[in-house]
């Protein structure tokens, strides 16, 4: 290259063609530099805003600028703004907009520089390297916006970084921030930014800070514990896969749309987070997991909408009272949601499109209010709703949208016909099932007491033991109780009899029934002191009769579902002791009939009077009858008398009864009739 020697009067030295060194006095660069075509410039001495404007306006070929030995002087413009609308330019600051849009590729900033002004280098698309001094404390907004730098090492001395400071730097790949917080939009749309390292003194990431950083693989944070807030739109559209939120134990706030459309793969929120803005993880399609902190009370609208890889079973923490509109919209991989007792409201379409749901669990005892179409697109009848207990299951079953689920209840193992009780009707249903006959309601899971996927005699024996011993085991399954029927007046009776102390005798059980298709029965028998049952046997040999160990419950069933005959159905062998009262009563109640069609019907109570031949025989033994028929109470009395009819509402009606058949009109309900000193329970349908 050709060398040019400049006169000392110009205080400039030409090193090579296009490379110049100048010692300058502030405001005089235009007069000290005659050659405006230079490509490299080194300046020492002092400069102010006037010199920088000269460089920007008058040195179109300048690509390299070394200001390491320059001290920047203050400047005040009198009368009118000098640059933009600015009158005053501070000492030690690269002036605002001073080199904006220049063709610089390399810049060495003054060793004494304190700050870089607003948009000072904005638009310098060719600028690749900038050397920052250790004295630098502030970089103002948009200072490097749109530059071509590839690496930004922001020293620990910088405590203030302005909005959009490195925004839209298309070539920026690596960022290290040693001390300051990350401001709003600091690196927005830096599409090649792949590596970010933050120190643990960083406490906040501003709104949109890394929005649009599609190549961002992750952020390395020393221990990650210092981050307290992440602003809205901070990572919108960013790659940002490896951001360990769980490590940010001081994180408290996440702004709206912070990770929307980002590449984040796990949104595990630490316990201190109490606030999230709308759509914080909206359409973060790589997000495969999410946890919720204990302190959060609201899941905002659109929070996880479109997180199509979000898989698993999620439990919202106690304290969450509302779920916003579209919060989990189209998260079709989620299997279940567990909602806390504090849940009070679920917004419109909050869980619409969650087609992978198999269970929604909720322990709130007050049914939460709902927006419109909360589960739109979800096949709710195939999704189980698991509530706190049967009472709350009934509540949810009465409310629109909630009632569309497959509501779970606590069911009894052995409750084959699904009526909420274990009794002879369940045995009857199992027998019918085993024989291949139609059974009406038959719940396989309830019948399979042994849980071996086989219905056999072992299940019958298990249910017999449950009935006789009063044991019950619950499990949870789909909702659907069948209410049992009643058959007015049908009963099991024992004729009045006499027995001596120390005597054992057989007595006959009879059916007093209007139907002829009973093939199974169960009842409780209350024996008086001094008499006990010592044996029982069927009269037709086709029914099996079983007596409980305590002797107070009897059940009978037929392996061929054969109906009982018209004669006595069984023989009871009873034994009397000296404790037997001369006038004792045997009471039969809790009667349940099973029909050949596996219907279940309730019978009426009955009594038998037991006499003792060593006492005085009661020639006026009570043969009164009270029962219900065709919507009336029937009283068959042995004498004229006054009866009392008491309803469950407490009303007490005296009824004059004549000897023989009497019919008393009564509304449907339960009644107690007192007749000749005895009480009878009657159900009128």
CA atoms within 13 A on the CB side of 7: 4
**CA-to-CA dists, residue 546 to 495, 569, 588, angstroms:** 21, 13, 16
pLDDT in tens, 293-311: 888 999 999 999 999 998 8
At 663, which CATH number?
2.60.40.3770
The answer, as to whether pTM is greater than 0.85, is: no
Assess whether 614 and 662 both reside in one domain. no
**Same domain (yes/no): 32, 114:** yes
| Torsion sign (Cα): 190, 194, 199, 202 | positive
Domain boundary among 136, 171, 190: 136
Dihedral in degrees, nearest 10, Cα atoms 88, 93, 99, 104: 170
Evaluate whether 128 touches 148 at the Cβ level (below 8 Å): yes
Q: DSSP for 271-314?
A: TT--EE-TTTTTT-TT--EEE--TT--EE-TTSSTT-TT--EEE
Q: What is the CATH number of the domain that holds 47?
A: 3.80.10.10
Q: Which of 602, 622, 642 is the last residue of a domain?
A: 622
Q: What is the pLDDT of residue 669?
A: 81
What's the pLDDT score for residue 481? 41
Q: Is 24 inside any structural domain? A: yes
Q: What is the DSSP letter of 419?
A: S
Q: Is 537 within a domain?
A: yes
Examine residue 332 and state whether it is found in any structural domain, yes or no.
no
The C-alpha atoms of residue 460 and residue 449 are separated, in whole angstroms, by: 9
Could you list the residue range(s) of the whole structural domain that residue 605 is in? 486-622
User: What is the pLDDT at residue 673?
Assistant: 85
Look at residue 4 in the predicted model and tell me its pLDDT: 22
Which of 622, 646, 673 lies at the terminal end of a domain, its last residue?
Answer: 622
Which is it for strands 151-154 and 174-177: parallel, antiparallel or unpaired?
parallel
Residue 447 maps to a domain? no
Q: Which pLDDT belongs to residue 8?
A: 25
Task: Indicate if 81 and 18 belong to the same structural domain.
Answer: yes
The pLDDT score that the predictor gives to residue 300 is 95
Position 445 in a domain:
no
Q: What is the DSSP string of 594-616?
A: EETT--EEE---EEEEEE-TTS-
The list of the chain residues with pLDDT below 70 reads 1-18, 438-439, 474-488, 566, 612-622
Tell me if residue 202 falls in helix, strand or coil. Answer: coil
Specify the CATH number for the domain of residue 540. 2.60.40.680
Question: Is 661 within a domain?
Answer: yes
Strand, coil or helix: 464: helix
> Do residues 604 and 674 share a domain?
no
What is the helix (H) or strand (E) element at residue 52, kind and residue range? helix 49-58
Residues 6 and 67 in one domain: yes
How many domains does the structure of the chain reveal? 3
Residues 543 and 665 in one domain: no
Does 597 share its domain with 673?
Answer: no
Name residue 204's beta-bridge partners: 229
Which residues on neighbouring strands pair with residue 182, listed in sequence order?
Answer: 205
d(CA 244, CA 313): 21
Which pLDDT tens digit goes with each residue over 114-169?
Answer: 999 999 999 999 999 999 999 999 999 999 999 999 999 999 999 999 999 999 99
Judge if 570 and 594 occupy the same domain: yes
Determine the pLDDT at residue 17: 54
Residues 640 and 601 in one domain: no
Domain-located, residue 65: yes
Do 539 and 630 lie in a common domain?
A: no
Neighbours of 399 (CB within 10 A): 13
Provide the Cα torsion 627, 629, 632, 637; round to 10°: -40
505 and 591 belong to one structural domain: yes
Is 71 part of a structural domain of the chain? yes
Residue 180, both tokens: 């300051």
Question: What's the confidence (pLDDT) of residue 191?
Answer: 94
- 601 and 632 part of one domain: no
What letter does residue 420 receive in the DSSP assignment? S
Instruction: Tell me how many degrees the CA angle 576-578-581 measures, rounded to the nearest 5.
Output: 80
């Amino acid at each position: 290259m050709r060398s040019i020697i400049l006169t000392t009067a110009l205080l400039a030295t030409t090193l090579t063609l296009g490379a110049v060194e100048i010692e300058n006095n502030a405001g005089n660069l235009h007069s000290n530099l005659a050659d405006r075509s230079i490509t490299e410039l080194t300046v020492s001495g002092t400069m102010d805003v006037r010199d920088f404007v000269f460089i920007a306006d008058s040195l179109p070929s300048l690509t390299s600028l070394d200001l390491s030995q320059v001290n920047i002087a203050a400047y005040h413009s009198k009368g009118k703004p000098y640059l933009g609308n600015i009158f005053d330019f501070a000492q030690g600051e690269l002036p605002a907009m001073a080199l904006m849009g220049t063709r610089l590729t390399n810049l060495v900033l003054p060793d004494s520089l304190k700050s870089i002004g607003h948009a000072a280098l904005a638009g310098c698309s060719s600028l690749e390297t900038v050397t920052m001094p250790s004295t630098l404390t502030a970089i103002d907004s948009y200072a490097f916006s749109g530059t071509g730098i590839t690496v930004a090492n922001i020293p620990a001395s910088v405590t203030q970084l302005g909005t959009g400071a490195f925004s839209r730097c298309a070539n920026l790949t690596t960022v290290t921030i040693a001390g300051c917080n990350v401001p709003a939009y600091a690196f927005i749309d830096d599409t090649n930014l792949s590596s970010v390292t933050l120190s643990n003194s960083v406490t906040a990431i501003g709104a949109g800070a890394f929005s649009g950083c599609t190549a961002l693989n992750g952020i390395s944070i020393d221990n990650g514990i210092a981050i307290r807030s992440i602003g809205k739109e901070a990572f919108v559209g960013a790659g940002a896969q490896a951001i360990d939120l769980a490590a940010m134990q001081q994180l408290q706030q996440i702004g709206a749309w912070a990770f929307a459309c980002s590449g984040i793969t796990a949104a595990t929120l630490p316990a201190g987070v109490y606030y999230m803005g709308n759509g914080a993880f909206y359409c973060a399609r790589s997000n495969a997991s999410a946890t919720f902190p204990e302190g959060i009370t609201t899941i905002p609208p659109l929070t996880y909408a479109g997180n199509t890889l979000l898989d698993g079973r999620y439990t919202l923490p106690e304290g969450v009272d509302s779920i916003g509109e579209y919060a989990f919209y189209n998260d079709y991989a989620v299997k279940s949601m567990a909602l806390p007792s504090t849940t009070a409201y679920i917004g419109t379409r909050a869980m619409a499109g969650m087609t992978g749901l198999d269970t929604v669990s909720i322990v709130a005892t007050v049914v939460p209010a709902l927006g419109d179409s909360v589960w739109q697109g979800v096949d709710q009848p195939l999704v189980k709703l698991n509530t706190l207990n049967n009472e709350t299951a009934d509540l949810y079953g009465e409310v629109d949208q909630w009632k569309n689920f497959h509501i779970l209840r606590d069911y009894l193992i052995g409750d084959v016909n699904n009526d909420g009780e274990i009794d002879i009707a369940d045995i009857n249903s199992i027998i019918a099932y085993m024989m291949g006959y139609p059974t009406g309601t038959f719940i396989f899971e309830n019948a399979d007491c042994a849980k071996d996927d086989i219905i056999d005699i072992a299940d019958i024996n298990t249910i017999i033991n449950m009935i006789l011993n009063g044991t019950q085991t619950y499990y949870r399954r789909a909702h659907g109780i069948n209410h049992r029927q009643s058959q007015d007046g049908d009963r099991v009776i024992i004729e009045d009899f006499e027995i001596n102390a120390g005597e054992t005798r057989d007595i006959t059980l009879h059916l007093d029934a209007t139907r002829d298709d009973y093939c199974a029965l169960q009842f409780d028998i209350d024996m008086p002191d001094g008499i006990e049952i010592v044996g029982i046997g069927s009269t037709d040999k086709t029914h099996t009769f079983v007596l409980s160990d305590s002797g107070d419950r009897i059940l009978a069933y037929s392996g061929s579902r054969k109906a009982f005959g018209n004669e006595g159905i069984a023989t009871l062998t009873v034994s009397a002791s000296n404790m037997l009262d001369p006038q004792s009563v045997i009471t039969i109640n809790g009667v349940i009939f099973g029909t050949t069609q596996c219907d279940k019907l309730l019978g009426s109570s009955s009594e038998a009077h037991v006499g003792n031949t060593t006492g005085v025989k009661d020639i006026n033994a009570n043969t009164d009858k009270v029962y219900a028929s065709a919507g009336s109470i029937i009283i068959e009395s042995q004498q004229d008398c006054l009866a009392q009819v008491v309803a469950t509402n407490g009303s007490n009606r005296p009824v004059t009864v004549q000897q023989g058949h009497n019919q008393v009109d009564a509304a449907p309900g339960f009644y107690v009739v007192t007749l000749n000193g005895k009480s009878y329970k009657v159900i009128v349908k």
